[in-house]
Amino acid sequence: MNGLTFAVQLLNGVQYGLVLFLVASGLTLVFGILGVINLAHGAFYMLGAYLAYWIAAMTGSFWAALLGSVGISFVLGLALENVFIKRMYGRDHLAQVLLSFGMILVIDEVRQILFGKDVHSVAPPAWLSGSIKLTDVLSYPVYRLALCGFCLAMAIAIFYVIQRTRIGMVIRAGAENREMTRSLGIPFDTVNRFVFAGGIALAALGGAVVAPVSTVFPGMGDSMLILSFVVVVLGGIGSVSGAAIGALLIGLTDTFGKVFFPQISSILIYVLMAGILLWRPNGILGKREV
Amino acid sequence: MNSKLQNLIVPLALLFAAVALPLLVPTYYVQLASKMLLMGMLAMALNLVVGFGGLVSLCHAAFFGLAGYVLALTSPESQAASIWLSLPITMAVCGLAAAIIGALSLRTKGIYFIMVTLAFGEMLFYLFHDTKIGGGSDGMYIYFKPDVLLGSTQLIDLDKPRTFYFVALGCVLLTVWLLRTLVNAPFGHALAAARDNERRSVSLGFPVFMVRLVAFVISGVLAGVAGYFSAAQFGFVAPQLLGWHLSATVLVMVVLGGMRSVTGPLIGAMVIIGLEEVLKSSTEHWKLIYGLIVIFIVFALPGGVQQLSSLIFGRKVDAPTPGTEVWKGARSMQPEAANV
């Protein structure tokens, strides 16, 4: 492997990691702040991709597809929080697991009814659809580069909102101590609703932005769910920085695993997870046991 | 005296019905009943960990499916495997897998435990899905049901659906007996104590980690036995058998049947499989209705069918509502709970 191929693979790994971070950050926020385990997170990733395909096919505009997919998912998230999730805050994790399993079945079947089960693809906007010629045989799609940049910008935006803004302060306070935040007069129930909807919207955004580089297919949510779980376990529940580290680790491990050890690449990330668990059972940046 | 008699009459009547059933109904329903029994065995096995241990595992389908693959791989190409060889190998492999996954997963608690078991279960799924060990995503056929031979005489012919049903029934009865014994033994009390208050159990000197690991391994081996016979029944294994959707479905069975009883999940399995059967034959989009029913169960029946029967017959359920205690336990394990 020469330097250029290595650089391309490195870029692929980082790009994969950035998309993983986008999806997993939504999951870790919902875990950390609402204390709710949401197995349907992957289903919303899948739904985001299908919505993007649907809107792109109707309007012909990639940007309309992106915005529409995220917008619809956000509203859906608000509604679901209001009807189902808010009743889950006092319940055990088992009930949350079962509720989100039921939601997966419903979302999957609704997707089947609305969009069918065919595999689709979404065209990137025209000015991003070319590729950069690196050598005679090697070229790199512009969209993948743009995807890297976009996800990086989103990651910075997420960190900025959580670390530097007033909303972020409320979110951090709520994650630290729910009752205290509420007793200080902060409308935490509304915050909860928007955090859940925001998490769902991030999953849908992840699905929509990868639609042009990977295909849109029914099973895409399941594999993403497991990967985001591994990312959250690696990074520590509720830790957005941990999710960033975990996502990059998984992205690089998976990409280079496929290059160097193609036979066992799918097992490699779990071996990594097992290793981290032995070292730090609560994740790299997870709180130590109290 | 009267209540003692009552306690005996119901199980005896059920046992009589279970024995009489295959002689009365067509073969298709005998096979369906066998499927129900084996899924019920899986659900009861899972409940040792979930209900009595307070540990929500999402990887039990992996043990179930792994067992099927072990049977498929130990079966010779053109003849039946011997049950005396393949069943012990299956149990050993599932026990080893459960010991490794359990030892790693039990280092974590609460939400982490759920996520880690899910991830390890999916690891086994991808092992069979992506590699050629077991035919990849196409799965493998098991052309011959395992032989049960003594010398050269056939003791039991698993090819006959009615005989197979009685074998499945025997497995279920053995499971019920084993789980009852375990739950009522000091081991079971230690397991429940760790569920209700982990810190107190540790400070009282209970080897909480070991107790949980042993429960996890026993549960994994029982799930494996259910998977072994299930694979033998259908003659086919595919990676989907290891997938977490099956694990979640079995959890629904456990919750529906009631987590505080040994036999409850068996009833839950029968209800869920019966429901699937009815829904599949009546509508194309059965998963939509099934999903809505699962959501309904979570909100309306946190105590399972026992709660339903108590609503109908006005009988009070003396067991505490399942979940409340698990929740308390889970809360005290969460880092932020120290501040609340």
Q: Which residues of B touch A267 (CB under 8 A)?
A: 123, 126-127
CA gap A159, A21 in Å, rounded: 12
Taking CA atoms, A84 is separated from A38, A102, A196, A203, in Å, by 12, 11, 11, 19
Give per-residue pLDDT as tens, B58-115. 999 999 999 999 999 998 878 888 899 999 999 999 999 999 999 999 988 888 899 8
Which residues, at least 6 apart from B312, have a Cβ–Cβ distance to it below 8 Å?
A: none
pLDDT at B319 over 60: no
CB B228 within 8 A of CB B68: yes
pLDDT at B339: 34
| β-sheet bridge partners, residue A120 | A216
DSSP sequence for B227-278: HHHHHHHHTEE-GGGGSHHHHHHHHHHHHHH-TTSSSHHHHHHHHHHHHHHH
Q: Which amino acid would we find at residue B61?
A: A
CA gap A266, A277 in Å, rounded: 18
Give per-residue pLDDT as tens, B2-47. 667 777 887 888 888 888 888 888 989 999 999 999 999 999 999 9
Higher pLDDT, A34 or B329: A34
Pick B130's closest partner by Cβ from A110, A178, A266: A266
A-B Cβ pairs (cutoff 8 Å, strict): 154
Which of B46, B50, B55, B108 best tests the A interface by mutation, with the highest count of A CBs <10 A? B108
How far is the alpha carbon of A174 from chain B, nearest alpha carbon, in Å? 10
Burial class (CB in 10 A: 0-12, 13-18, 19+), A215: middle
Q: Which residues of A touch B51 (CB under 8 A)?
A: none
φ/ψ of residue B147, rounded to 5: -80, 140
Check CB contact of A114 with chain B, cutoff 8 Å. no
Give per-residue pLDDT as tens, B190-234. 999 999 999 999 999 999 999 999 999 999 999 999 999 999 999
Residues listed for chain A: 290
CA gap A185, A165 in Å, rounded: 18
Which of A28, A97, A250 best tests the B interface by mutation, with the highest count of B CBs <10 A? A97
Give per-residue pLDDT as tens, B119-149. 999 999 988 988 888 888 888 998 888 888 8
Give per-residue pLDDT as tens, A5-14. 888 889 999 9
Residue B306 — very low, low, confident or very high, per pLDDT cuts 50/70/90? low
Q: Which amino acid would we find at residue B136?
A: G
CA gap B67, B231 in Å, rounded: 8
CA gap B58, A165 in Å, rounded: 38
> Residue holding tokens 């998984």?
A250
CB A261 within 8 A of CB A272: no
DSSP sequence for B158-205: TTSHHHHHHHHHHHHHHHHHHHHHHHHSHHHHHHHHHHH-HHHHHHTT
pLDDT at B313: 62
Please, what are the domains in chain B? 26-335 (1.10.3470)
Q: Which residues of A touch B294 (CB under 8 A)?
A: 98-99, 101-102, 105
If we measure between CA atoms, which residue out of A48, A30, A52 comes closest to residue A39?
A30
Q: Which residues of A touch B252 (CB under 8 A)?
A: 98, 101
pLDDT at B321 over 60: no
CA gap A15, A32 in Å, rounded: 25
Q: Which residues of A touch B336 (CB under 8 A)?
A: 35, 175-178
Below-50 pLDDT ranges, chain A: 289-290
Among chain B residues, CA nearest to A229? B115
Task: List, in sequence order, the alpha helices (H) in A177-239.
Answer: 178-183, 188-210, 220-235
If we measure between CA atoms, which residue out of B92, B313, B138 comes closest to residue B238?
B138
CB spacing of B255 vs A94 below 8 angstroms: yes
Residue B305 — very low, low, confident or very high, per pLDDT cuts 50/70/90? low
CB B272 within 8 A of CB B289: no
pLDDT at B222: 97
DSSP sequence for A12-51: HHHHHHHHHHHHHHHHHHIIIII----TTHHHHHHHHHHH
Pick B123's closest partner by Cβ from A99, A267, A282: A267
CB B105 within 8 A of CB B120: yes
Secondary structure class of B154 (helix, strand, coil)? strand
